[in-house]
Amino acid sequence: MLRTRKLWMSVLSVMLVLTVVLSGCGKSDDSKDTASNTTDNTGDTKTDTTKTDTPKEDDAAKTGIDTSKPVELQFYMLGDAPKDLSKIQDLVNQMAKEELNTTVKFNYTTWTDWDQKYKLLLSSGQPIDLIFTADWTQFQSYAKKGAFQDITDILPKAAPELQKYVPADMWDAVKIDGKIYTVPATYKEYVTLGFVYREDLRVKYNLPKPVDMATFEEYLDGIKKNEPDMMPLSMNSNVRDNLIAPIRDLTHDAIGATPYGLGITYKDPSNVYSYWGSDEQVQDLTIAQRWQQKGFFAKNVLNDKDTLQEPVVSGKAAAILGDNPTRFNDTRLKMKSAHPDWELAYFPFPLAKGYATPVHPIHNGFAVPKSSKNAERALAFYEKMVLDKRYNQLTEYGVEGTNYKVTDGYYEMIGDSTSNGFPRESMNGWAWRNPEYMLFDKDFDGVKDIFASLDKIQSPDKFTGFAEDYTPYQAEKAAVEQVESQYFAPLYAGLVDNIQEGLQTAMSKAKQAGLEKIHEEYKKQWEQYVTTNGIK
């Protein structure tokens, strides 16, 4: 019976293909065009989504998956949704329904407490089909704990073109214990940190160019003196990552905001030490306290859930301690669209440190959570997001003629950041960027110049491939994280008058919570990783 059914399905497939071929005779090859823009008699610009790269039957045959049952995919991104997301979603669904018998719901966490929301999404069992992953969302640990589905054997069937498109070394780089749990982005960029500051104010008040911590502090002093109604430094409640980590990065060559108060440097990767309680930490906390006392950022900073960029865009703050080149450019564009006479500048930390690390393939990706019942359809849809120009440019830039235009090969936003409901990359679609389809604004030439300067001093990312397994200290992990939030965060924010006493209390609480057990096990895992991968 099954064999007869398969034969009948094969005959039916052939008949369908013949019908499509015969009906297409005499037509031009326009059916392979990407989505075009047309203007109706009201003058409004619309995206024509009726054209597809291939007929629906071919899509199903190519992927080798069953698309007979309609599904709605739940797609989760971090951050805040753009105002016109629903319009873009409707246009995407017109194509996806036709080609994969699929619709999608794009969901966002907002940036407020995103990390707690992310953890809840992956632990609650809520049905989710695609979710953003990155090293800074702890992808490696979540994969190790079984939060995501192993897609190693699903990719060839559901997204064969995507599997071929991503280079083999990138697939290898994202493997955890030999298995693939995320689809990596292929766009090469640098997300190394740098000073972001109002250049027009620097020139106006003859302030130094920030090239190290000393000159940056001089700049902030000058802003405080000359612009009393402006906050010199944009800062929010995430003082660990946005204040202490950049200080450590530039001053101590730290590899990042390593967890549990540990310290690891780029030039001595085998040496894992306790940053918490060290003289090094006291130096950094002293800087934070001094800046707090000088009024560089607000006393209620631990309650501030705003982004770092918004106060700079609106003119409420003059600088950001550490941001990456691409986000700097986005902030600059938004600021200049509202205030054309203002100017923002950037100095990359790697120029002071002497080396720059391009992003690791783990840095941006998408995974299929364990809770998904639509893994094949999810990957087939994600293949469209990456490789189909219509899906890709629609979700990265919006509707041409409505949200943007292309002039001399450059992206131009229509309107400004307040009137445009879908600015460039406002879906936070960093992971499905396709270098072949990317549109850049003219100002991005400056970022390309930054990237070119960093290319000259590039050095490999030695660390992002590490996958922590916190199973042996899961209870202690939660307890220590609570201690960090309660006792270390006020120190990070410069709000503790006596640093030594405050640090002594915080360390005592951390040790009671199991810090030493965590450090011992983490060091074992790290040393094994360094040795296995020959990292020096």
Identify whether 90 is part of a domain.
yes
- pLDDT average, residue stretch 444-462: 93
Q: How far apart are CA 251 and CA 353, in angstroms?
A: 9
Number of neighbouring beta carbons within 10 Å of residue 28: 8
Residue 365 to residue 371: CA distance in whole angstroms: 18
Which pLDDT belongs to residue 62? 54
- Number of separate domains in the chain: 1
To the nearest 5 percent, what fractions of the chain are helix, strand and coil? 50, 15, 40
CATH code (residue 101):
3.40.190.10
* Residue tagged 């965590």 (tokens): 518
| 158 in any annotated domain | yes
Q: Domain for residue 488, yes or no?
A: no
Q: Which domain holds residue 149?
A: 51-188+361-446
Tens of pLDDT, residue by residue over 74-92, are 999 999 999 999 999 999 9
The answer to whether residue 173 is domain-embedded is yes
> Is 324 within the bounds of a domain?
no
> Would you say residue 409 has pLDDT above 90?
yes
What pLDDT does residue 416 have? 83
Confidence check: pLDDT of 19 > 90: no
Residue 108 has pLDDT above 80, yes or no: yes
Q: Is the pLDDT of residue 30 over 60?
A: no
Pairs from 423-426 (Cβ < 8 Å, separation ≥ 24): 423/82, 423/334, 423/398, 424/330, 424/333, 424/396, 424/397, 425/330, 425/396, 425/397, 426/82, 426/398
Residue 17 confidence (pLDDT) above 80: no
Q: Residue 346 domain-assigned?
A: no
Give the tens place of pLDDT for each residue, 314-330.
999 999 999 999 999 98
Q: Would the pLDDT of 101 be above 70? A: yes
Structure tokens at 315: 């003119």
Residue 85 domain flag: yes
| 141 within domain boundaries | yes
Instruction: Quickly state the pLDDT bin for 333 (edges 50, 70, 90).
Output: confident
SS3 318: strand
Q: In the structure encoding, which two tokens stand for residue 77, read together?
A: 């991104």
Please work out, in degrees rounded to the nearest 5, the angle formed at the alpha carbon of residue 391 by the alpha carbons of 45 and 98.
Answer: 90
Residue 404 has pLDDT above 80, yes or no: yes
- List helix spans (H) across 25-124: 56-63, 85-100, 114-123
The per-residue pLDDT for 345 is 97
- pLDDT bin (cut points 50, 70, 90) of residue 290 is very high
> What are the pLDDT digits (tens) for 514-531?
999 999 999 999 999 999
**DSSP string over 241-263:** IIIIHHHHHHHH-B-S--GGGEE
CA distance 184 to 360: 9
